[in-house]
Chain A
Amino acid sequence: MKLIARVLSSDVLSLTFRLFVGVVFVYASLYKIAEPELFARSITYYKAMPVSLVNLMAVIMPWLELITGILLILGVFSRSNALVIAIMLLIFIFAITQALLRDIDISCGCFRPEGEERVGLGLLGRDIIWFFMCLHIMRFDSHRFSVSRFFHPRKRDISFH
């Protein structure tokens, strides 16, 4: 049991989650930054927010995904970035859940505009798993694997953590 607890609370596992979630969010941001109109349309299909606010979300969210994803990979302000991503995942989880409850059959809009996974329980489960990965990063990530250590090798505080 102790071994399991140690593995679950290890910063190596947290590093794995950090790199995984970071890469996923950087990748997810790319088409949205390149095609803001297509991303905005895919948001409207969820019918989860006023149409007038959709474009603002479509303009800001991809950059939030890109910047937090890159910083998470680098290990700079990991807890803060994991928090921002966790909040975005909560928004996605809400949007998917209400779409499922209202029987709205649409494609995800997560990684590309067309021909991808439909909104369903699989997608919901995936986002919930990623949300818990973010919680793990917030709880167990250490400064040990941060890029900032190269610049401040003697500082063991949490200045970039």
Chain B
Amino acid sequence: MSRFIDGRSLGIAVLIFLASSVVGLVYNAVYPKGIPLVRKKVEVGDTLVTRPNDQQPDTHLVSKVLSLAEAYEYHGSGQAVFLDARARTDFEDKRIAGAVSLPESDFDEAYLRAAQFLTPRTHIIVYCQGRECDESMIVQERLVEMGYSRVDVFLGGMPEWLDAGYPTEKGPMAGET
């Protein structure tokens, strides 16, 4: 075929691919952490993480994907901190009222500012620019890895919030210029 590969080597490469695929599929079928072969999109109501509740034995803290109604309810109760995972410019242009900026693209630096609003047991709700964005999921994962025990994602994000006419604000965060 060429100086790089001949027909026989190509055939063996195909066989290696097929054999590896079979091994992977069998392993996935028996491995406790195996995953479904067809990935489903994240939907409202999905559980993201379940963690033991240190303060109440035999109970768990569940991080979930929230609907607009749930997000609005938590917003009204004032018991959750909303984190905006979009770029800082989008945050300053318009955000959910009271939200704190934690852009995924600038996580490490932005976290230093956002951390003052958070404790490990704070109920956190992360959102971004709607159902097609991933930033909220990425920030959610990073916060869970850092030890925050309840970090939900508001899937509809800013577009759903705006469509519903719920409270927003703009400009720098409180305490910033």
Contacts and interface: CB of A to CB of B under 8 A. Distances in A.
Contact residues on B (Cβ < 8 Å of other chain), bracket = 35 or more
A90 B4 CA distance: 16
Contacts of B174: none
A40 B9 contact: no
B16 A63 contact: no
A15 interface: no
Contacts of B141: 41, 114
Contacts of A53: 39
B165 interface: no
A47 B9 CA distance: 33
Contacts of A81: 13, 16
A135 B4 contact: yes
B145 interface: yes
A80 B10 contact: yes
B9 A84 contact: no
Interface stretch (B25-33, B75-83, B115-123): B25-33
A156 interface: no
A116 to B, nearest CB: 12
Given A35-B33, A37-B33, A52-B39, A67 B23 contact: yes
Contacts of B104: 105
Contacts of A35: 33
Contacts of B105: 105
A149 to B, nearest CB: 18
B41 A51 contact: yes
B30 to A, nearest CB: 12
A66 B13 CA distance: 14
B38 interface: yes
Given A77-B12, A83-B10, A59 B25 contact: yes
A138 B38 contact: no
A154 B125 CA distance: 68
A64 interface: yes
B71 to A, nearest CB: 22
Given A36-B28, A63-B23, A81-B13, 13 more contacts: A59-B28, A60-B25, A62-B24, A63-B20, A64-B21, A67-B20, A67-B23, A77-B12, A79-B9, A80-B10, A81-B16, A83-B10, A161-B9
Query: 5 closest A-B pairs (Cβ-Cβ)?
Result: A63-B24, A80-B12, A80-B13, A64-B20, A55-B39
